[in-house]
Structure 1
Amino acid sequence: SLLFAFEESREQLVRNAAAWGFDFPGWEEEGLIRIVPQYPHSLTLEDHLVVMKDTIDEYEPTRVAVDSLSALERASSVRSFREFVINLTATIKHREITGLFTANTPTLTGGSSITEQHISTLTDSIILLRYVESFGEMRRGIAVLKMRGSQHDPAIREYEIDGDGMHIGEPLRNVHGILWGSPTHVDPELAAKFERAGAAQAG
C-alpha cells in the first residue's frame, strides 16, 4: 500500500497509527506500506502529480491512499484541481490500482465542498462520515452515497470507535438533514408512521 499524506507529518501518522496498534515503521521495513508525506504548498499540482506518478511506478502498489484532496484543493485553483483529480484517477485506474481518497467538509457537521463536486463523478464509491448533534451529544453517522455496479444499504447509520475498532450500529431514523449539514430531529412516532407508509407503498 502507498499513502500520500498532505495533512500530517510522518511523525504524526506513525504516532496516530501506533495508538490503534498499527506498526507503520515495521510495515515499511517489511515493504508492506510506503508513506510519502508532502506539504501541499511545496509544489504545484502538476509537480505533485509527477511525483505521485513516479512513486506509483517505482513502488507498484495494489492500493493507493491520498489524505487529503482537500489539502491540495486549498493550494490550487478550481480548474487546476479538477485537472489534477482527473489525471490522478485515470493513472490509478489505468494501472488497476485501488484508490482511496479522503476529503474534508467545510464545517464540523457537514455541507458540500468544491472537492466533493469534483470527485463525485470520477469515483466508483463514496462513503460519507458526518458528526450529528443529538440532544447535547455528538454522534457519528456513516452512509454509502454511491457504489457503482453494486447494491448497498441506503441508511445513514450511527457508528462508534473504541479500542477494538469501528462498530456500525442502527440507522439514525429520528434525524433528517444530515447530508446537508443541518440535522433536525423528528418525532419518533411521526418517523415510524412515515416508515410504515413507505414500506406499505414498496409492498
Structure 2
Amino acid sequence: MPASTDTSRVETGVPRADGVLDGGLRPASATLVRGAPGAGKTIFGLHFLAAAGDRDETGLYINLGEPAGYLRETAESFGLGVSDVGFLDLSPSGSQFQDDGTYDLFRSGEVENPALVDSIREEIEAIDPDRVVIDPVTEIRHLTPDERQFRTQVLSLLDFLKASGATILLTSQAAPSIPDDDLQFLVDAVIDLLVEGNRRTLSVSKFRGSDARAGPHTVTIDDDGMHLWPALDPSLHGRDGPLGTLSSGVDELDALLSGGITTGTIAFLSGPTGVGKTTTGLQFVSEAATRGRRSVLYSFEEKRKTILTRAEATGIPAREMVEDGTLLIKEIGPDELALDEFIHRIRTEVEERSTEIVMIDGVTGYERAFREGSDDPTHDLVKIGRYLRNMNVTGIATNEVHQITGEFRATEQRVSHLADSIILLRHVEYRGELRKVIGVLKMRTSDFETGIRTLEVTGDGLVIGDPLPELRGILTGTPDWRMED
C-alpha cells in the first residue's frame, strides 16, 4: 500500500469536488456521505473507487444494500472503471447470504458473532485496500441489538481500517426516521448531499483538520456520472491588469463615454425590446476583436443564428470573429444548465482561454433560465460581476425594460447597483415618428457626456446623431421640443 503523508490528499474522483475539499480527503480518514435515497451517495462512492485505479491504488466496495452486480452495471453505465475493485457482497441477495446458516447468524443480532467482522477482516487482509467504501453503513444498525453496540462496532471497524492505512468512505441513508447523528461524531468529515426540487447540492458540514469551501455547491448527474459545480466566491479570485478603455469604434458613441467603457468594469445596456442593445454591445465586441481581444457572448434570449444574421445586416463582422476565434457565442436555454455550471463556464473562458470581454445578452432571460436552480439568481449575477472585476475582465450586460415608452426605469431586476456604467437606449415619440435615442446615465470611473443623442441602426452600423439639447422629457418617452430663448 502506498505510504501517505500528512500533507497528501486522496482524490474523490468527482470532478471539481477536490477543490471544495481543499485538495481532497485526508489519507487514512473516514468520511460520511449522507443523503436521502437518490441523492447520489452510491455514485459518489463509485467515483471514489474508480479513482483508485487511476492512481494505481486498490479499492474495496463493501455493499450492504444493492448487490454487487447492480453496482458494477451502474459504474459501467457512467463509464467508471471498477473492474479492479473488490466487492464484498453483504447485501441481502449477495453471496454472503446464500448459505442459510450464515443468514441466521446475521439475523441473530449478536454483535459478538464473528460472521460480519470476520468477513470484512478477511477481505481487508486479502486485498490490503487503499480505499474502502461501506454502502450503506446504516445497514449495520439493523444487525446489532442496541445503539451502543452499533456505535462500538462501527468505531471498531473504522479503527481497524485506519490502522491498515485505508481511506474510508461511508454512506448513510439520512432521514428523520433513520438518524445518523452518532455516525457524524465518529467520522472525520461529513459530506451532505441534498435534493430540493430539481436541484442537487453538496455541502461539507464537517472536515476535521482541514478547510473546506462553504456551500451549497450544485451537483449534476449525467451519462458521465456525478459532477460538482462549486459555488462562486469572488474573493478567492483576482488578477492584476492595467485599466484601459474599450472603444466602440463609433466616434460619437465613444464621445458620450469619454472615450469608451473602462476595462475591468461592468456596463449595462438598458432599454426596451428592439431598441438596439445587443447590436450596441456587439459594436464594442467587434472593436475589441480588431485589437486581438477575445470575447464570449452568452445569449439567453435569441438564437445564435439570429444574432449572427442581425450582426451581418448591420455591418458587424460577427461571423468572421467567430471563425477566427475572437468571439464565442453560446445559447443558454431555460433549465439547460445549473447556475453554478454556467458560472464555471465563465471561469473557464476567463481563466483558461484568456477571454477579456464577457457579454450576458438578456438579464431577464438569465433570471428565467436559472430561477429553478438558484435561491436568488440576481444575487449570483452580482457575484459574477464582482468576479469579472476582480479578474480585470470587462462585463457587458443587456437589460430589457418592459415599457416601450413611458416612465423610465434603469433596470427591472434592481441590479443597477451592479453596473459601473449604464447606457440607456429608448424609443421616443417625436412629431408623429418613433425614434431611438441613446445616453449615458452612470459612469463610476470617469466623466461622461450628459446629453441625449439620436440613434440609428443601419446597414453600415450604428449612427449616433448630434446632441438634442432642445428635447425635454425624453425619459418619459414623450418628449417636448423647447427652443432656447
Query: Normalising to structure 2: TM-score of the pair?
Result: 0.36
Question: Partners in 2 of 1:21 and 1:168 — Cα distance?
Answer: 15
The question of 1:114 aligning with 2:409 is answered no
Residue 103 of structure 1 aligns to a residue whose secondary structure is: strand
Residue 61 of structure 1 aligns to a residue whose secondary structure is: coil
Change in Cα spacing, 1:20 to 1:46, as seen in structure 2 (3 Å) is: same
Q: Percent identity?
A: 32
Question: Partners in 1 of 2:301 and 2:392 — Cα distance?
Answer: 26
The question of 1:99 aligning with 2:99 is answered no
Change in Cα spacing, 1:35 to 1:147, as seen in structure 2 (3 Å) is: same
Residue 386 of structure 2 aligns to a residue whose secondary structure is: helix
- Aligned residue in 2 for 1:200: none
CA distances 1:106-162 after superposition (whole Å, capped 9, x unpaired): 1112632423x31x2222211100011012101111111111131111111112232
Change in Cα spacing, 1:27 to 1:157, as seen in structure 2 (3 Å) is: closer
- Aligned residue in 2 for 1:154: 450
Question: Partners in 1 of 2:457 and 2:329 — Cα distance?
Answer: 24
- Aligned residue in 1 for 2:365: 71
- Aligned residue in 1 for 2:329: 35
Change in Cα spacing, 1:56 to 1:37, as seen in structure 2 (3 Å) is: farther
Residue 399 of structure 2 aligns to a residue whose secondary structure is: coil
Question: Partners in 2 of 1:145 and 1:13 — Cα distance?
Answer: 26
Question: Partners in 2 of 1:73 and 1:171 — Cα distance?
Answer: 35
CA distances 1:64-106 after superposition (whole Å, capped 9, x unpaired): 1110112123443897132121111012111111111110111
| Cα deviation, residue 21, structure 1 | 3.4
- Aligned residue in 2 for 1:170: 466
**8 Å CA contact retained: 2:308, 2:319:** yes
Structure (1 or 2) with the larger CA radius of gyration: 2
The question of 1:10 aligning with 2:304 is answered yes
**8 Å CA contact retained: 2:299, 2:329:** yes
- Aligned residue in 2 for 1:129: 425
- Aligned residue in 1 for 2:478: 183
**8 Å CA contact retained: 1:175, 1:183:** no
Q: Which amino acid aligns with 1:183?
A: T
- Aligned residue in 1 for 2:318: 24
- What is the root-mean-square deviation of aligned Cα atoms in Å? 2.4
Question: Partners in 1 of 2:310 and 2:463 — Cα distance?
Answer: 19
Question: Partners in 1 of 2:367 and 2:472 — Cα distance?
Answer: 29
Query: Normalising to structure 1: TM-score of the pair?
Result: 0.80
Change in Cα spacing, 1:69 to 1:164, as seen in structure 2 (3 Å) is: same
Change in Cα spacing, 1:107 to 1:82, as seen in structure 2 (3 Å) is: same
Residue 121 of structure 1 aligns to a residue whose secondary structure is: helix
Q: Which amino acid aligns with 1:167?
A: V
**8 Å CA contact retained: 1:127, 1:146:** yes
| Cα deviation, residue 49, structure 1 | 2.4
Question: Partners in 2 of 1:178 and 1:43 — Cα distance?
Answer: 39
Q: Is 52-61 or 97-106 further displaced after alignment?
A: 52-61
Question: Partners in 2 of 1:45 and 1:83 — Cα distance?
Answer: 12
The question of 1:45 aligning with 2:339 is answered yes
